[in-house]
Structure 1
Amino acid sequence: MAPDTHCCSRADLRRRLPVLAWLPNYSLRWLRMDVIAGLSVGLTVIPQALAYAEVAGLPPQGSCWTSSPALSLKASHPLPASQLALDRSRVGDAILGLVCMVLLLVLKLMREHIPPPHPEMPLGVKFSRGLVWTVTTARNALVVSFAALIAYAFEVTGSHPFILTGKIAQGLPPVRMPPFSVTTDNKTISFSEMVQDMGVGLAVVPLMGLLETIAVAKSFASQNNYRIDANQELLAIGLTNVLGSLVSSYPVTGSFGRTAVNAQTGVCTPAGGLVTGVLVLLSLDYLTLLFYYIPKSALAAVIIMAVAPLFDVKIFRRLWLVQRLDLLPLCVTFLLSFWEIQYGILAGTLVSLLILLHSVARPKTQVSEGQILVLQPASGLHFPAVDALREAMTKRALEASPPRSAVLECTHVSNIDYTVILGLGELLEDFQKKGVTLAFVGLQVPVLRTLLAADLKGFQYFTTLEEAEKSLQQEPGTQPYSIREDTAPEHRSSLLKSPSGP
């Protein structure tokens, strides 16, 4: 037997290990962009993680350890809007945050208006352009550093107008197996008790993490014209959480905010994450004092300005013109995300599922009125749609005066289940009680074979609609083409033995 050439091929390795795709072609231009992006993200990782740890009421060092492995995705999640409280706002933080947002906006506009380089550009102009480009590209790191210097100056004078990041524990986390039991208050909690205490959160937390990760990936993929491999995203998030458990980190997901910072600073390859990881590792051991003075308001400004461009206002008008029903899950997700982003994603998913189920239960049907009623479902016929089909047939054909025969055009029906068969059988009985006929047209071979095997009383089918209408319009007593007692066994046997193809 020839070996499987597709197993562990070079293409599979490049897909599962993307470093094999970008590292051989790595350039110095990419290195400059990745370093700037890595530093910019790194300067927001630790203070942001500490802020989320404070909100969650968890030890701050765990959130820092989450960001430290170079293999990890950017972890914790955007700060929920429910944490915003105007009654607890501080004037100093509000002013500093607004100033930082203005500076970030000005630097962003400057970068967008930098003239493109050309060979005839003088050396001095090239140098000035490069300096402006570097400053505007690294604007997040510069603004955070600027805010930290201002905060330090106020702290030296004894004034405390800003909420600072504060102290964090130094040192790297020990690598060890996660504990499967803990002792608190002289009581040992076993692993099974931990699982019971987590309850539904054991399933909800991973589900929300996966949904958020895929949402982040799809958002930036659509903006930057590339496709994502959902399986690879799930593999990465799973591997990262397994490795993170060895260093006592928090659960890891994708992050809208940090991904936006990473993208807006011009990252070219995943090497930017390596720079971030190195910076975090160094800061955990040597630079914690420098991060002490970073105001949380400056960090909030960086995140707001990075995430704001992701909000596409035009999508509302496009959906209104193209598919208005899609506005429903969009608005539900948007509004509930102000409460908790996880609830917003889950609610939007459920609404989309309900819309999908509604389309299955109420398929669009083309109706041709006349002496004979013709109904053609525009999509497949599944069990939720049987009641709607029966209702339409009853109202249009059986409750008419006088009752009339009908044809069910099944060209778009590729398969049916047992519930559909039962519903069609009851519908055939209803037609027989009224003394009229229900015929089937355009049955695909697998569907026809299933209906013949069900041996429905009064089942009749035709190859074309013209044949059905001609037969049903004949004088009373003339039977249309159907499975009669003398030919049914033979004909049914040949169909049941035929191949499944059309």
Structure 2
Amino acid sequence: MEPLVSPLPIHGNSVQQRWLSCCSLRTLQTWIPILTWLPKYNLRWLQMDIIAGATVGLTTVPQALAYAEVAGLPVQYGLYSAFMGGFFYCVLGTSKDVTLGPTAIMSLLCSFFIEGDPVYAVLLTFLCGVIQASMALLKLGFLLDFISYPVIKGFTAAAAVTIGFGQVKNLLGLKNVPRQFFFQLYYTFQKIPEARLGDVVLGVSCMVLLIVLMKMKSTLPPLSEEHTATVRAAHKLVLSAATVRNALVVVGAAIMAFALEAPNRHYFTLTGKTSKGLPPFRPPPFSEITPNGTIISFTDMVLDIGGGLAIVPLMGVLESIAIAKAFGSQNNYRIDPNQELFAIGVTNIMGSFVSAYPVTGSFGRTAVNSQTGVCTPAGGVITGVIVLLSLAYLMPVFYYIPKASLAAVIICAVTPLFDYHHVIQLWRVKKLDLVPFMVTFLVSFWEIQYGIVGGLLVSGAMLLYNEARPKIKVTDHDFLLMELDSGLSYPAAEHLSHVIYNHALLVCPPRSVVLDCHHVSRIDFTVVNEVRDLIQQFRLQNVTLIFSGLKDCLLEVFKAADLELQHTDSVEAAGASLLGNTHHDRGPVG
């Protein structure tokens, strides 16, 4: 007797095949990209990765200290955030160039939600990582596609202004200046008479030196075979000095501050005492006890962070993937956006165990990494080791770093983010895109998160308006030919009816219509219901509505709705049908 169901071995084989597919080398390489390039690793790659990693490390340390100041945290938290990315991105990342760590924009975003509290910063890191990794596992990276280019550029430009001006107080040695931009603007100018001469001179000098080194690097002519050994050595010296200019400036300023420091006389505002050694490895905090003994629960902390749980992880991923795509295109390789999302998520989750605040890809350090000739993500491991060595042995030295020098580093780092060329391009390409750009840019000075949300709402409204108002080209061929240029969905249903009524049914005499649907690939129930009413109105007026070029999938939808309509494969066939059996389709359009 034959069994009523398939034998178990067949089902078992199917499960076994799926299990083997999930555990195949190809699947493992997709989720753990290091398995792709590690077997091919060689000494030449190792040499280039060490050089690039060390160069980026010398750039990372001073920037990390400076960006912690932007986030409103003690400077050591910048270093706590700067090393995990190198280790985990090496295993999980798909770009050889990208370096993960603290950035100016992420630091600014975090500052609005953590209010200078390290406990909130670490919890935000953990939650960001969980959200990002979950999005990767659920394949939700497509949500980033809804953040338009004008919104990104508007936010970036506003962030550059906010961060840059926020460091003016440190450049002038001012104290007790609020963090909110407009109050900061007012009180900075009000307190200019209180500026400290030492901080001003040092800060301006550091900025001039950074700008000079930056210009030297950008104008340095390429080497050729005709150049002598001396010229080549000088070229490499200048290039190296320009590449690690941040480290040179900060170290030089710290040496000067140490040399001039006296017990009763302080020429510069110093970074001050910092925690020594490596951060403890421990789970992120899920509650906080305030100095007065009040316990803040996990729920209350999440509510306090609020919109930061959406904005911080999304903007972090967006920034990193944009950088990875840019350098992948430049260096002829492709990245996996979903895997990048997973790599950033895991990095933030693990970073929360070492007291890090949220990190993302850094454009400046990624550019240094690429230009130095990095071959694999292993360069990030070298960078991470340098940061760890700084934490282990150099923390007492950081006491003497003047805040004015860190302010100079930040201002020079964020200035290129404000690029007016993008505004000119938007004006030339599509002027309407300036609307979400300007909304994002201006509102961000009030609150960064409101600027992003405002820009997204304006961009979404523009997108929905285009969806609700598809272009309908109307021409007269002894009947009305109406050509649709896109799909039809429920926001467009009323607009379609309005156009057909005005041009065909509200004129005297009424006109027959051929609706060219060659470009239509989707409809919904609202559109079907509207078409049903239109067909009924055409029958009452004793004129004809013919659909031309309907795809099979659309015909199936109409058939499922029990809707009888006339349709032809081509406009010519529809016209021949109408001209063969109608006699009153004359008169002007509309």
The bucket for the TM-score relative to the shorter chain is 0.7 to 0.9
Show the counterpart of 2:270. 164
Is the contact between residue 41 and residue 261 of structure 1 (CA under 8 Å) also seen in structure 2? no
Partner residue of 1:445 out of 552, 555, 562: 552
Superposition deviation, residue 313 in structure 1: 3.1
Show the counterpart of 1:274. 381
Partner residue of 2:336 out of 225, 229, 238: 229
Show the counterpart of 2:261. 155
In structure 2, the CA distance between the partners of 1:145 and 1:181, relative to structure 1 (3 Å rule), is closer
Show the counterpart of 2:346. 239
Partner residue of 2:508 out of 401, 404, 407: 401
Is the contact between residue 33 and residue 266 of structure 1 (CA under 8 Å) also seen in structure 2? yes
What amino acid is the match of 2:47?
L
- Residues 29-50 of structure 1 deviation map (CA, whole Å, 9 limit, x = unaligned): 453233122112122213432x
Q: Are residue 74 (structure 1) and residue 101 (structure 2) matched?
A: yes
Within 5 Å, give how 1:143-222 maps onto structure 2: 143-156=249-262, 158-184=264-290, 190-192=297-299, 194-195=301-302, 198-218=305-325
Give the count of matched residue pairs: 473
Deviates more, 1:400-409 or 1:99-108: 99-108
Show the counterpart of 1:34. 53
In structure 2, the CA distance between the partners of 1:120 and 1:202, relative to structure 1 (3 Å rule), is closer
Superposition deviation, residue 12 in structure 1: 5.8
Deviates more, 1:105-114 or 1:411-420: 105-114
- Residues 262-313 of structure 1 deviation map (CA, whole Å, 9 limit, x = unaligned): 6677766544433432233223232112212222332232233334334443
Q: In 1, Cα distance between the equivalents of 2:552 and 2:82?
A: 57
3-state DSSP of counterpart to 1:455: coil
Within 5 Å, give how 1:111-130 maps onto structure 2: 111-130=217-236
In structure 2, the CA distance between the partners of 1:316 and 1:61, relative to structure 1 (3 Å rule), is closer
Q: In 2, Cα distance between the equivalents of 1:310 and 1:194?
A: 32
Q: Are residue 24 (structure 1) and residue 41 (structure 2) matched?
A: yes
Q: In 1, Cα distance between the equivalents of 2:455 and 2:330?
A: 21
Partner residue of 1:365 out of 472, 489, 494: 472
3-state DSSP of counterpart to 1:367: strand
Q: Are residue 380 (structure 1) and residue 399 (structure 2) matched?
A: no
Within 5 Å, give how 1:403-422 maps onto structure 2: 403-422=510-529
Is the contact between residue 46 and residue 280 of structure 1 (CA under 8 Å) also seen in structure 2? no
Superposition deviation, residue 226 in structure 1: 5.7
Q: In 1, Cα distance between the equivalents of 2:409 and 2:332?
A: 25
Deviates more, 1:107-116 or 1:2-11: 2-11
Contiguous gaps of at least 5 residues in structure 2: 1-12, 89-99, 109-158, 163-179, 585-590
Q: In 2, Cα distance between the equivalents of 1:139 and 1:180?
A: 40
What amino acid is the match of 1:99?
S
- Residues 372-399 of structure 1 deviation map (CA, whole Å, 9 limit, x = unaligned): 1111111111111111111111111122
Contiguous gaps of at least 5 residues in structure 1: 479-502
Deviates more, 1:188-197 or 1:27-36: 188-197
Superposition deviation, residue 78 in structure 1: 4.4
What amino acid is the match of 1:296?
K
Is the contact between residue 163 and residue 297 of structure 1 (CA under 8 Å) also seen in structure 2? yes
Q: Higher relative CO (CA 8 A, sep ≥ 6), structure 1 or 2?
A: 2
Deviates more, 1:256-265 or 1:468-477: 256-265
- Residues 327-359 of structure 1 deviation map (CA, whole Å, 9 limit, x = unaligned): 333333344444555444443333333222222
Is the contact between residue 208 and residue 346 of structure 1 (CA under 8 Å) also seen in structure 2? no
Superposition deviation, residue 471 in structure 1: 2.2
Q: In 1, Cα distance between the equivalents of 2:488 and 2:221?
A: 59
What amino acid is the match of 1:349?
L
Superposition deviation, residue 115 in structure 1: 3.7
Partner residue of 1:45 out of 64, 75, 80: 64
Show the counterpart of 1:332. 439
Is the contact between residue 214 and residue 233 of structure 1 (CA under 8 Å) also seen in structure 2? yes
What amino acid is the match of 1:387?
E
In structure 2, the CA distance between the partners of 1:12 and 1:97, relative to structure 1 (3 Å rule), is farther
Deviates more, 1:381-390 or 1:196-205: 196-205
Deviates more, 1:233-242 or 1:128-137: 128-137
In structure 2, the CA distance between the partners of 1:247 and 1:347, relative to structure 1 (3 Å rule), is same
Within 5 Å, give how 1:440-479 maps onto structure 2: 440-456=547-563, 459-475=565-581
Q: In 2, Cα distance between the equivalents of 1:284 and 1:74?
A: 15
Q: In 1, Cα distance between the equivalents of 2:480 and 2:385?
A: 73
Q: Are residue 304 (structure 1) and residue 411 (structure 2) matched?
A: yes
Q: In 2, Cα distance between the equivalents of 1:45 and 1:377?
A: 54
Q: In 2, Cα distance between the equivalents of 1:264 and 1:303?
A: 21
Superposition deviation, residue 442 in structure 1: 0.6
Is the contact between residue 53 and residue 383 of structure 2 (CA under 8 Å) also seen in structure 1? no
What amino acid is the match of 1:173?
P
What amino acid is the match of 1:166?
G
Show the counterpart of 1:101. 207
Show the counterpart of 2:80. 65
3-state DSSP of counterpart to 2:87: coil
In structure 2, the CA distance between the partners of 1:52 and 1:436, relative to structure 1 (3 Å rule), is same
In structure 2, the CA distance between the partners of 1:163 and 1:217, relative to structure 1 (3 Å rule), is farther
Superposition deviation, residue 433 in structure 1: 3.3
Q: Which of these two proteins has the greater Rg computed from alpha carbons?
A: 1
In structure 2, the CA distance between the partners of 1:278 and 1:119, relative to structure 1 (3 Å rule), is same
In structure 2, the CA distance between the partners of 1:228 and 1:164, relative to structure 1 (3 Å rule), is farther
Show the counterpart of 2:29. 13
3-state DSSP of counterpart to 1:473: helix
Deviates more, 1:118-127 or 1:431-440: 118-127
TM-score with structure 2 setting the length: 0.70
Q: In 1, Cα distance between the equivalents of 2:535 and 2:574?
A: 16
- Residues 143-182 of structure 1 deviation map (CA, whole Å, 9 limit, x = unaligned): 2222223333443385445433221111222222334455
Deviates more, 1:71-80 or 1:358-367: 71-80
Backbone CA RMSD of aligned residues: 3.4
Q: In 2, Cα distance between the equivalents of 1:52 and 1:207?
A: 20
In structure 2, the CA distance between the partners of 1:141 and 1:204, relative to structure 1 (3 Å rule), is closer
TM-score with structure 1 setting the length: 0.81
Show the counterpart of 1:493. none
- Residues 214-248 of structure 1 deviation map (CA, whole Å, 9 limit, x = unaligned): 45545665676764422122111110122122223
